[in-house]
């Protein structure tokens, strides 16, 4: 029974690692589509979001199957509930990559991000990518220290988000309201991506240390 | 065992109904704060978000306790996993009310919503309120037809969201970028509130009919 549980848990963990990799790839490609007005890349992200959704369903099915067959208690049960939380965060991160891709597509062939904002979005995307990599790592090999780094990455994201508004609200903003609206929504997509990465990380820390996770943010 | 399960499920359902009522009250009060620049109302919403988060934790604890003690299978297990999903959606709806309140507070004593946009936000808020009421109703008494109405409400919300952008992008938009940014984010908060209500409704329908729920939107 115990060994069977371990094997099942291993399968669920692998699905979560696959989700993290899929989400990372999606956000990288969405950013590429955004910054280079690459229509094909944007379409690929949108098409492949269904694969992340499928992985989410597989995690849920596996967890339900495992709960029904093995009726785990205590820390094993906690691991199962945590897997559901992490999967939900990753699924949502995939949606946010999809939203970035859709924004790129809506403005195509014009770039959705004007030159003045490129450096901020490049940094936001790099931060998001670092966070997606860390989530993948802590899911593959639990590491509370690495998971805790996500908080600092999130601070970086929040700083970038503030600088974005600084540029948008500067007296010399030349692009008008439409571009400001796109930039506001894009900024929110990257920032929410980071929030979900932090949440997922906190759930993993909870699993490792027993510390109370937040009610989500 | 069966009767004990029913009693536990009843407690979880009541917690979800309490969450739905808390979330509805929060969004109503946040909208009031937004439209009347009522500082005290905004602060109350922000303070009371912790109560919704506490209810979310209670649902999780109850469900975990129930899974551990009773090891439900089949439809009983499905009901438990659904409760977790619905609770997560409601918790997030509470966060979105909190975001509306914070936007009201950030602009206080100025109103965050200019006169031209008031009718749209009044309608968005009314739609959100109707949806929150329906979620409370279907949680108290499962009703697939009522839950299905949420989709139509969501279409209304999407139409309102589009009209919002229509006004923001009109040639005669007189308020500049800052007000457009606030309106963009506020529009997104109401629209996401509706999305989560739809998700929660679909999970309840799943419980009633066995139809596959979506991977969240």
3-state percent helix, strand, coil for chain B, nearest multiple of 5: 85, 0, 15
Alpha helices in A71-143 (DSSP H): 74-107, 118-140
Checking if the pLDDT of A213 tops 70, the result is: no
Alpha helices in B71-175 (DSSP H): 74-107, 118-140, 144-168
Of residues A111 and A90, more confidently modeled: A90
User: Residue A186 and residue A178: Cα distance in Å, rounded?
Assistant: 12
How confident is the model over B90-105, as pLDDT tens digits? 999 999 999 999 999 9
Sign of the dihedral defined by the CA atoms of residues A29, A30, A32, A38, in that order: positive
pLDDT given at position A53: 97
How confident is the model over B118-130, as pLDDT tens digits? 999 999 999 999 9
pLDDT given at position A106: 94
Interface residue ranges in chain A relative to chain B, Cβ cutoff 8 Å: 53-54, 56-57, 60, 63-64, 67-68, 71, 73-74, 77-78, 81, 84, 88, 91-92, 95, 165, 168-169, 173, 176-178, 180-181, 184-185, 188, 215-217
- Strand, helix or coil for residue A73: coil
Domains defined along chain A, listed by start:
2-209 (1.20.58.220)
How confident is the model over A6-32, as pLDDT tens digits? 899 899 999 999 999 999 999 999 999
Contact A147, A138 (CB under 8 A): yes
pLDDT given at position A130: 98
Residues in chain A with CB shorter than 8 Å from the CB of B165 are 181
Helix axes B74-107 and B2-36, enclosed angle (nearest 10): 20
Chain mean pLDDT for chain B = 93
How confident is the model over B133-183, as pLDDT tens digits? 999 999 999 898 999 899 999 999 999 999 999 999 998 888 989 999 999
User: Residue A58 and residue B42: Cα distance in Å, rounded?
Assistant: 41
Buried b (16+ CB within 10 A) or exposed e, B108-122: eeebbbbebbeebbe
């Amino acid at each position: 029974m115990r060994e069977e549980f371990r094997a099942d848990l291993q399968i669920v963990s692998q699905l979560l690692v696959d989700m993290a990799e899929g989400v990372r790839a999606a956000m990288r490609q969405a950013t590429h589509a955004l910054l280079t007005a690459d229509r094909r890349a944007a379409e690929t992200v949108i098409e492949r979001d269904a694969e992340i959704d499928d992985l989410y369903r597989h995690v849920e099915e596996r967890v339900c199957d495992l709960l029904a067959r093995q009726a785990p208690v205590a820390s094993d049960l906690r691991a199962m509930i945590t897997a559901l939380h992490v999967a939900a965060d990753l699924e949502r991160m995939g949606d946010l990559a999809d939203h970035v891709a859709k924004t790129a597509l809506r403005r195509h062939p014009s770039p959705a991000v004007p030159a003045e904002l490129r450096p901020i979005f490049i940094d936001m995307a790099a931060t998001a990518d670092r966070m997606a990599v860390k989530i993948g790592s802590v899911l593959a090999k639990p590491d509370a220290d690495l998971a805790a780094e996500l908080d600092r990455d999130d601070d970086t994201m929040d700083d970038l988000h503030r600088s974005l508004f600084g540029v948008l609200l500067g007296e010399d903003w030349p692009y008008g309201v439409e571009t400001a609206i796109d930039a506001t929504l894009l900024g929110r997509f990257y920032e929410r991506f980071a929030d979900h990465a932090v949440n997922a990380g906190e759930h993993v820390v909870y699993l490792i240390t027993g510390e109370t996770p937040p009610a989500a943010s």
